[in-house]
Structure 1
Amino acid sequence: MSELRTLQFAHLRDAVVDARSLLETGYEPMGNWTLGQICHHLKLVQDPSVHGYPGWMSLFAFLRPAMRRWLLPKIRRPDSPRGIRTAGMFVPPQDVDDDQAIEAFAESVEQFLSHPGDYSPHPAFGRLSRSEFEEIHRLHAAHHLRFLRPRKAEADR
């Protein structure tokens, strides 16, 4: 496999900018998902931080201290782990339109950033501050978007 992009977003909106740029330039997938699938997944994972996670996800709340010590440092690395399975409710369908998924992700980002209250406890990490939750979503977006390589413009070839 080709080397993945190294991405770090200073702000969550930067992930939307990157997604829109990939749509404009075209992209080469270096993983299993398209741009639309990635953006759909990011929205599916991000929205529950505002609206609440399913109750069954808190069954493992007793593991949160260990997850904070073990998993959180791993996802903070630029080479965050690959192949971690996600709950079925967060797996995007095969036929996702890139344009629509990017715009839905952009709306999700704005909803997250403008949320006035507390966020729902994260299934793996528990209660997080606004900045911690934004960091988690920025890292998550960078993790997935790094699997898409922008195509070079015809003039660059």
Structure 2
Amino acid sequence: MTATLQANGRRELHYGNLNDIVTDAESLAAGEYQTLGEWSFGQILEHLAVSLDCSFDGFPFQAPWFLRTLVAPFIKNGFITKPMRAGFKLPANAGALSPGDVSVEEGLSHLKKAVARYETETPNVHHPVFGRMARQEWVSLGLRHAELHMSFVVPFGD
């Protein structure tokens, strides 16, 4: 079992829009916080930013055909509407989504730019598992994804 699966004290989050993620990140960055999982706060922010960017620029990997065609139709709605579970390991061919050392300032700056893209652009690539998705599906998936990762960043005193 990984440290991620064992992390106690995570926050329960529900973001209503992409700007809520930025507001939460800015609030945490302005104070004292701790991370409970394996990634730093900067790495979490960078991962979220890169993931959002991939919805416009494309993903560096694709799930196996049987997952895309046989499994994805049955699990897609759950990923978009329900909280994501911790402990998922990215496949080796998705290494570009695993951030290196990134400062909170760098990660937050990138996240703000990625969120701002949604104000002027519409995602138009295929998701590596779920295929073609509507704009609101991309947004909802991004929100659930951010809720998972940001739950590991806890302000001191909570």
TM interval, short-chain normalised: 0.7 to 0.9
When residues 118 and 92 of structure 1 are mapped into structure 2, their CA distance, relative to the original with a 3 A threshold, is closer
Q: Do 2:55 and 2:123's aligned partners in 1 also have CA atoms closer than 8 Å?
A: no
The equivalent of 2:147 in structure 1 is 142
| Number of residue pairs aligned between Structure 1 and Structure 2 | 148
Give the 5 Å matches for 1:4-15.
4-15=10-21
The equivalent of 1:81 in structure 2 is 85
When residues 25 and 105 of structure 1 are mapped into structure 2, their CA distance, relative to the original with a 3 A threshold, is same
Please report the RMSD computed on the Cα atoms of aligned residues, expressed in angstroms.
Answer: 2.0
- C-alpha deviation, 1:61, in angstroms: 4.4
TM-score by length of 2: 0.84
When residues 118 and 31 of structure 1 are mapped into structure 2, their CA distance, relative to the original with a 3 A threshold, is closer
Amino acid at match of 2:150: L
- C-alpha deviation, 1:84, in angstroms: 0.8
The equivalent of 1:92 in structure 2 is 99
- For structure 2, the 5+ residue unaligned runs are 1-6
Q: 2:117 aligns with which of 111, 123, 126?
A: 111
Q: Do 1:47 and 1:112's aligned partners in 2 also have CA atoms closer than 8 Å?
A: no
- For structure 1, the 5+ residue unaligned runs are none
Query: Kindly, what percent of the aligned residue pairs are identical?
Result: 30
- C-alpha deviation, 1:128, in angstroms: 0.7
- C-alpha deviation, 1:33, in angstroms: 1.1
Poorly superposed stretches of 4+, deviation over 2 Å:
59-65, 74-78
Tell me how far apart the structure 1 counterparts of residues 73 and 34 of structure 2 sit (CA, whole Å): 33
